[in-house]
Amino acid sequence: MQSKQILLITLFICSSIALQNPIFLNETFYPGLIKIKGDSDMFYILFESRSNKTYDPLILWLNGGPGCSSLLGLFEELGPYKITQDNTLTSNPYSWNNNANVLFVDQPIGTGFSSLGTTEIPKTEEEIAKQMHDFIQSFLQIYPKYINRDFYIAGESYAGQYIPAIGSYIIKTGDLQIKFRGVAIGNGWVDPYYQQPAYAEYAYKYNLIDQDTYKATQQQFTICSQYIKTGSTLELLADACETPFNKITEKNNFDIYNYKTPCVNPTCSEDDDDNKVQKFLSRVDVQQVLGVQGRTWSACVDNVYSALSDLENRSSINDLINIVNANLKVLIYNGDLDFMCNYIGSENWVNNLNWKQQSQFQAAQYQTVKLNGKEVGKIKGVSKLQFYIVYNAGHMVPKDQPEVALQLINTFISQESYLRMLKFQILFYLSIYFLAHTVSRFF
């Protein structure tokens, strides 16, 4: 028993040591593994802020799937690097750690570099939330400098299920020593009741189907929504929802994650980038630096997907309402070229979100967002809930529009960071003033 405790303490100490390595371009980062329920663990990489690591907030980033590694977000989207053709790294000037400490976690267990061990894959969002809560508790023990730091959860796609569940659980328990400020969900799968019928509407709006196909699939999706509402069997849901979806996609040569991109292989445009990530993470020297020697990394894993597949038409709205009602900031953003989790479906569920300022939100007008004098999107919001449509971006906004995505997240986290920094500076200069004044009295 004593040897296990010593080993655990040693792992904590080793995990909390900052690394700077030429392979990773000498960026300051912390890789590690945190035990979850017996012999399972979660792999993470923490990157310090390039600006003010001591006071900038902590952002937890989660990719979706379910069963897709958050290292996809790291290397393909918002992390400090991009992978080159010669299997090395180049710096990303639009990384989200420009103004935040960013934590990428492979979850649920069994995803990416995380080990499943003999533990069962969680089969409910409640179990996933509990495991992430346990992870954060252990993380704060290893990195106590983030205790009482501003904390955000961000992610995309199926993370539209993860994030509300985790956020709601954190609020419910109230025992984490963090300042939970809000959540940001990009192209999220949140409420299928509204998002399933949006496939027909989106496809018709962008001339991906003709009018006859639109009418036929619209009727089928109406049945799909009714089955979702009444909690019908998985067999009925599969037939009612997948049939019209396949009717739209099978007749068209487009990437469901960016309809303007031709689909040239079964998984469209994602293969090349995912293969680059896998090739880089298979390097022996890279695995040694990350502490994952002998582990095999996959972009997405089937067993995690299968374990959660029964939740395909689950709504995370109730969890999200708990977050909104807790007066936390909520940012929902969508790339306008994404078919899979398209902005029409997101707009529908956001407008129908049952909260105290629903009518004001529905009446709110979109405001143009500009960057460098160019229109890059539009946003509307009431109080701390905002909905942002990003132009010329697909399913992965930080990948397609990295500069816009950086502006988006910096704006989202800026207020608390700025006020905290201002308060610190005022207190610092006041202390200097009073110290100088006190000393001067003796001369």
- Among 56, 106, 255, 338, which one carries the catalytic annotation? 338
For the whole model, what pTM was predicted? 0.89
| pLDDT average, residue stretch 368-380 | 96
| Alpha-carbon span 321 to 324, nearest angstrom | 5
Task: Round to the nearest angstrom and report the end-to-end CA distance of the chain.
Answer: 62
CB 118 within 8 A of CB 38: yes
Catalytic residue among 114, 157, 225, 316: 157
| Across 300-309, average pLDDT | 92
Confidence of residue 437 (pLDDT cuts 50, 70, 90): low
> What is the SS3 assignment for 30?
strand
Show Cβ contacts of residue 423 under 8 Å, excluding neighbours closer than 6 positions.
none
- The dihedral formed by the CA atoms of 137, 138, 141 and 144, expressed in degrees to the nearest 10: -60
Query: Which residues make beta-bridge pairs with 60?
Result: 103, 153
Tell me the average pLDDT across 368-377.
Answer: 96
Q: Is 157 a catalytic residue?
A: yes
Q: Which long-range contacts (CB under 8 A, 24 or more apart) does 309-313 make?
A: 310/123, 310/234, 311/124, 311/125, 311/161, 312/192, 312/237, 313/192, 313/196, 313/228, 313/237, 313/241
Q: What pLDDT score does 355 carry?
A: 94
Q: Is the pLDDT of residue 2 over 80?
A: no
Which pLDDT does position 224 carry in this prediction? 96
Pairing of strands 29-36, 101-105: unpaired
CB 54 within 8 A of CB 125: no
The confidence score (pLDDT) of residue 117 equals 82
pLDDT at 38: 82
| Residue 437 falls in the annotated catalytic set | no
How many residues does the structure list for the chain?
A: 443
The answer to whether 74 touches 273, Cβ cutoff 8 Å, is no
**Helices assigned H by DSSP within 143-210:** 159-173, 192-195, 198-205
Q: What is the pLDDT of residue 1?
A: 41
Active site residue 395: yes
Nearest by Cα to 196 from 152, 231, 251, 245: 245
Q: pLDDT tens digits for 178-204?
A: 999 999 999 999 999 999 999 999 999
In the block, which residue shows the tokens 């479906």?
Answer: 345
SS3 312: coil
Reported as a pLDDT band with limits 50, 70 and 90, residue 267 is low
For 390-431, write each residue's pLDDT tens digit. Answer: 999 999 999 999 999 999 999 999 864 444 444 544 555 466
pLDDT tens for each residue of 231-263: 988 889 988 999 999 999 987 778 999 999 876
Q: What residue ranges in 24-134 does DSSP mark as E strands? A: 29-36, 40-47, 58-62, 81-83, 89-91, 101-105
Of 70, 59, 72, residue with least CA distance to 108: 70
List, in sequence order, every beta strand (DSSP E) within 173-296.
Answer: 179-186
Q: Which residues of 230-252 are buried (b: 16+ CB within 10 A; e: fewer)?
A: eebeeeebeebbeebbebbbeeb
Cα–Cα dist 70/80, whole Å: 14
Higher pLDDT, 338 or 12: 338
Tell me the torsion sign for CA atoms 90, 94, 96, 101. positive
pLDDT at 322: 96
pLDDT at res. 8: 43
Distances (CA, A) of 208 to 241, 247, 330, 435: 18, 11, 32, 70
Cα angle: 345, vertex 361, 226; to 5 degrees: 35
Tell me the pLDDT band of 339, cut-offs 50, 70 and 90. Answer: very high
Centroid of chain to Cα 277: 18
State residue 430's pLDDT score: 62
When pLDDT is averaged across residues 110-119 and rounded to a whole number, the result is 90
294-302: average pLDDT:
94
Give the pLDDT confidence of 56-93 residue by residue, as tens digits. 999 999 999 999 999 999 999 999 999 999 999 999 99
pLDDT at site 9: 41
Who's near 443: CB < 8 A, 6+ residues apart? none
Q: What is the pLDDT of residue 393?
A: 97
List pLDDT tens digits, range 150-180.
999 999 999 999 999 999 999 999 999 999 9
- Residue type for 116, please? L
> What percent of the chain shows pLDDT beyond 90?
77
To the nearest whole number, what is the mean pLDDT of the chain? 89
Distance of CA 98 to the CA centre of its chain: 17
